A = this chain, B = another copy of it.
Amino acid sequence: MADRPGPPGTAPSPDRPAADSDPIDAAIDDAGAVGFVAVGTRFDPDLRHLTRFRGPENEYAFVRVSGRSVVCAPGESVGRVKAEFDGEVAADRVGDPAGERAAAVLDEYAAGDTASAGGTVLVPPRIPHDAAVYLERAGYDLRSTAAVTEARATKSESEIDAIRAVQVAAAAAVREGERLLATADSAPDGELSREGRQLTVERLRRGTNAELARHGVTDADNTVVRASTGRDRTTGVGAAPASDRPLRPDEPITVAVAPRGPHGYYGSLARTLVVDSNGGWERRAYVAVESALDAALAAVEAGAVARAVGREADAELAAFGFDSDPESAGGAPPAPGHGVGLSRRERPSLDAGAELQAGNVVAVEPQVVDSDRGTVRLSALVAVTADGYERLGDGDPSFTPRE
């Protein structure tokens, strides 16, 4: 019932990372383009990267032209945009489509450079179609660019600080889930309970999310508690109806979180725990996954091929006699890891052929899935460095839950 004190020793809120228009300007120069336009809502991670503010709920536009950065925003949001965005702000009239306003900004600011409106404008491939049509009608040729997505894959120091701060909250929340399991009672009927009530999948998910909230980050609807034993396996996902299936002491229970912090950056952490293992399959799987995580991390450094990191994990699992994912319900096997930033999953994927670069932040997350026995999973979040990696704030895992 108490709103308990904030976590002792929590680092102060990291500074907001700065916007960096160099990659956009370089792409504009390379293409001989007039400018760059992105359009979207606050959920667009490219726009967040370009503007460093959360954006209005309605559609808005970012325009880069002649060395200026301009945000076109709905009238009712202009005050807030001005308070948070370092560039210029152009208010949309009510009902003005963002794409139309962006075209007007291009016309106005590119006028000194070109005899008349027109020329090439770079856009992200997924710019809303209506905005693209407005720009084309205004006389611009659109060419798609991946410059922002690529720029996002390599983090600055302040971006890494922001991710580390979220990851500290992620670790505390998973640790709280662990504590709830460690201090649960085992009933004779093989079910866990706390304070006289069943400890269900959903109750553990809620307890984990409350800890994220207490640390000032949002669960972002990403928290998953998975209890998986044979046919009885079940998942409590934010999006699915509450699962009132009681947890059992002898089954692998996975708690996975991917919260989002105040600057928009995600953390990522997954751990499997067994309250009272008989030391059989799940213990062997855990040792294999632990070893696979170590092997994968040992392969992380700038210049390593991303896929090779994932393969190290798979090879180690195979050495222990486990496939990484023999049958994943009809879909392709999940990647053994992925980039983390303003999207929960972004470049680089650890099953892609690109080389890792210093400043990539990747979640390495080997797992063993057995349709009868369950899932065992561990993860680490690391920033790639020239000769290895720096682990970001996620502490040590434990097979048996600790108080």
Q: Which residues of A contact B (CB under 8 A)?
A: 1-6, 13, 16, 42-43, 53-54, 57, 59, 75-80, 82-84, 91, 94, 123, 125-132, 142, 144, 180, 194-195, 197, 202-203, 205-207, 209-216, 218-221, 237-242, 260, 262-264, 328-335, 343-345
In the complex the two chains form, what is the Cα distance from A125 to B221 in whole Å? 27
| Inter-chain contact A125/B126, CB cutoff 8 Å | no
| Inter-chain contact A54/B130, CB cutoff 8 Å | no
| Inter-chain contact B264/A239, CB cutoff 8 Å | yes
Pairs A-B, 8 closest by C-beta atoms: A79-B329, A54-B239, A209-B213, A126-B128, A75-B332, A210-B213, A129-B132, A3-B207
Kindly identify which residue among B76, B142, B206 contacts A213, using a CB–CB cutoff of 8 Å. B206
Kindly identify which residue among B79, B84, B214, B219 contacts A218, using a CB–CB cutoff of 8 Å. B219
Give chain B nearest CB distance to A214 CB in angstroms: 5
Other 20 A-B pairs with CB < 8 A, given A2-B195, A78-B330, A210-B214: A5-B197, A43-B43, A76-B331, A79-B328, A82-B329, A84-B240, A125-B128, A125-B129, A126-B130, A126-B131, A129-B132, A129-B142, A206-B213, A209-B213, A209-B218, A210-B210, A210-B213, A218-B221, A239-B262, A242-B262
Q: List B contacts of A91 (CB < 8 A).
A: 331
| Inter-chain contact B213/A80, CB cutoff 8 Å | no
Q: What residue in chain B is nearest A202 (Cβ atoms)?
A: B216
Task: Assess A216 versus B197: contact at CB under 8 Å? Given A59-B126, A77-B331.
Answer: no
Give chain B nearest CB distance to A23 CB in angstroms: 20
Give chain B nearest CB distance to A66 CB in angstroms: 24
| Inter-chain contact A94/B213, CB cutoff 8 Å | no
Q: List B contacts of A212 (CB < 8 A).
A: 213
- Some 17 contacts from A to B, beta carbons below 8 A apart, are A5-B195, A6-B206, A53-B239, A75-B332, A76-B328, A78-B330, A79-B331, A82-B330, A126-B130, A128-B128, A129-B144, A130-B144, A202-B216, A207-B214, A218-B218, A220-B221, A239-B262
| Inter-chain contact B57/A344, CB cutoff 8 Å | yes
Give chain B nearest CB distance to A357 CB in angstroms: 21
Kindly identify which residue among B77, B142, B238 contacts A262, using a CB–CB cutoff of 8 Å. B238
In the complex the two chains form, what is the Cα distance from A76 to B2 in whole Å? 42
| Inter-chain contact A330/B79, CB cutoff 8 Å | yes
Of A125, A221, A345, which is in contact with the most chain B CB atoms at under 10 Å from its CB?
A: A221
| Inter-chain contact A128/B130, CB cutoff 8 Å | no
In the complex the two chains form, what is the Cα distance from A132 to B79 in whole Å? 34
Q: List B contacts of A203 (CB < 8 A).
A: 3, 6
Kindly identify which residue among B2, B205, B240, B262 contacts A240, using a CB–CB cutoff of 8 Å. B262
Give chain B nearest CB distance to A196 CB in angstroms: 9
In the complex the two chains form, what is the Cα distance from A6 to B77 in whole Å? 37
In the complex the two chains form, what is the Cα distance from A79 to B327 in whole Å? 10
Q: List B contacts of A16 (CB < 8 A).
A: 241
Kindly identify which residue among B129, B197, B264, B333 contacts A129, using a CB–CB cutoff of 8 Å. B129
In the complex the two chains form, what is the Cα distance from A238 to B213 in whole Å? 10
| Inter-chain contact B57/A345, CB cutoff 8 Å | yes
Give chain B nearest CB distance to A9 CB in angstroms: 15
Give chain B nearest CB distance to A100 CB in angstroms: 12
Q: What residue in chain B is nearest A262 (Cβ atoms)?
A: B241
Give chain B nearest CB distance to A329 CB in angstroms: 3
